[in-house]
Structure 1
Amino acid sequence: MSSPTGPASGLPVRMPRPRQPGRHRRPEPVAAPEGAPALVLAVPGTPSTASRSLAEEVVSIARSELPGLDARIGYLDGDDSAAAEASAFAEFPSLRAVLARAAKERTARFEQARAAGADVAEPDGPVAVVVPLLAGPDSALTRRIRQAVIDSRTAAELTDVLGPHPLLAEGLHVRLSEAGLARADRARLFTVATAADGIILASVGGDEAVQAAGITGMLLAARLAVPVMAAALDEEGAIAATAEQLRGSGSQQLALAPYLIGPEIDAGLLDAAANEAGCASAESLGAYPAIGKLALSKYATALGIAPQQNQGAPVR
């Protein structure tokens, strides 16, 4: 029998769980601060409609994660003319032209506010944060990006490349599974007859790029439970030598996984590498959603802001 103050002795007491504010609540959306610098995606390689479409999708993902974000695209080998600098509708504006335009627009906004009688301080800090559209380090390309920033004569900040990062390992897994070269489920609830038992992780950018790819490769190997070895696409014989090493250690069915976003290389280089290794190849990372999120993460870190974290469901 229960007493007025609670259950009788010996019976279990059910205590209410303390409420944990926000545990299962959707996080409040974070918007870009007013007047925040632009995120400028630096796109390497020869400009094309394909690279423009890819870059536009990447910045679209970044904007969806941080509403109000001013995101722009500048091409390392784009149009560097005065017309490209002046027009927001240039087809393939160079990185230098995009930065110069962003600086002019910020100055114009300040002057208009002053002319309207607003008591505003002269803007300081970077005009833009430049994020290279590169999965791994490439000293030749990053040197050119840095020089373009210098040539623009603007106060722009340059971030590191996007990887290595666990989200890139996830993207590589997805691309391999899309090509039928890996199981989509890491728990192995079903099989794929063409699944590779050895992965060549192909990068460009020399030894530094291979080492960085190797870090992501270890994460990919943990996901797939097969050996993964990084090799340089731009080093003669490196892909074939890595394929031979994997076969020598027992792997019989290999696959090539490009540790690349896409615009930084000629597509023919991947086909040649796959032929050299005698194996099938997955697609490059392209506009996989993680690319936009990582670009935004680099931007946010540079500015000390925290966009809404929404990584989505992991690939198992």
Structure 2
Amino acid sequence: MTATTHRTPSLGPPRPDAPTDAPTLVAVAHGSRDPRALTTVQALLAEIRAQRPGLRVELGHIELAAPLLGDTLAAHAPGDVVLVPLLLGRGHHVGHDLPRAADAAPHLRSVPAAALGPHPLLAEALHARLTEARGRRHGPPDAVVLAAAGSRDPRSAADAEHTAALLSRRLGGTPVRPAYATAATPTVPRAVAALRAAGHRRIALASYFTAPGHFATRCARAAGPGVPAAPPLGAHPALARLVLHRYDEARVRARPALSALPAAA
């Protein structure tokens, strides 16, 4: 099936330099022992800073890597911060870890933002990474497995299914089946097998991860031979736009607790 082109809904024109009293954007990554993860997240933060010059952007990890979120918040001078999770769906980290970290830093006025997904900008970035993985020689896939980390929170699976529908729409109706590395079903091999049983032969794997790490690598390997795996979303400009969008949503929602700034267009 030939993919059709979809335009991602505009979030307005690029914003000017951030006011000097803008709350700090604290990007909250999960953390990984894979050194590629930190490099990738730092590249994403560089893209965010390029899109919003003058905005202070800091990094904190939930676990496994430095700087840890608690240390980043403890070192921050008293003021306003917005915690933007670099996580793609709802779950324990977004619902519990971010508010707990905010409570542990009473010298800050902290507001947690929503998880990044689902959102059309994620479908834009996923589509771009799929195109990179297959290249012109292979052409578009006839089915896609959307590989995600997985969670026991049913809302996380619902978010992945919503993203799969958005990606399918962007691909012109190509079937997109979510699959998970842990804590949820189906697994990647079972999703691939089900699509093959349905007659699909040009299957690709979309890596629904912000950065490389254990689960992203496991999913790519589990897809098996003949199933090209797209890289994680990384520093794609659409992902940086989405991080800023979640930041703007949170600070506008939190008025007047945070410094009042004009709403995003």
Normalised TM-score (structure 1)? 0.67
Larger Rg: 1
Query: In 2, distance between residues paired with 1:162 and 1:264?
Result: 18
Q: Return the letter of the residue paired with 1:231.
A: A
Residue 92 (structure 2) aligns with: 139
Work out which of the residue numbers 219, 231, 244 in structure 2 matches 1:296.
Answer: 244
Aligned partners of 2:219 and 2:190: how far apart in 1? 16
3-state SS in 2 of match to 1:281: coil
Equivalent residues in 2 for 1:3-82, closer than 5 Å: 29-46=15-32, 49-77=35-63
| Compared CA separation, residues 50 and 241, structure 1 to 2 (3 A) | closer
Name the SS of the counterpart of 2:87 in structure 1: coil
Aligned amino acid, residue 141 of structure 2: A
Which piece of structure 1 moves more, 66-75 or 261-270?
Answer: 261-270
| Larger RCO, structure (CA 8 Å, separation 6 or more) | 2
Q: Is the 8 A contact 2:188 2:219 kept in 1?
A: no
1:200 aligns with 2:174: no
Alignment check: 8 A CA contact 1:41 1:130 kept = yes
Q: Does 1:97 align with 2:71?
A: yes
| 1:248-270 deviations in Å (ceiling 9; x for gaps) | 32212211111111256444312
Question: Match for residue 312 of structure 1?
Answer: none
Give per-residue Cα distances to partners, 1:180-199, cap 9 Å, x unaligned.
16x6xxxxxxxx43532110
The answer as to whether partners of 1:203 and 1:260 remain within 8 angstroms in 2 is: yes
Partners of 2:31 and 2:64 within 8 A in 1: no
Q: Which runs of 5+ in 1 are unaligned?
A: 1-25, 80-91, 107-125, 184-191, 310-316
**1:201: how far off?**
0.6
**1:141 and 1:27 mapped to 2: Cα distance?**
29
Query: Among residues 271, 277, 280, which one is paired with 2:228 in the alignment?
Result: 280
CA deviation after TM superposition for structure 1 residue 141, in Å: 5.9
Distance 1:44 1:32 in 2: 26
Cα distance change on mapping 1:194 and 1:34 into 2, 3 Å: closer
Given that residues 147 and 180 in structure 2 are in contact (C-alpha distance below 8 angstroms), is that contact kept between their aligned partners in structure 1? yes
TM-score, normalised to structure 2, is 0.79
- Aligned-pair identity (%): 31
Number of residue pairs matched?
241
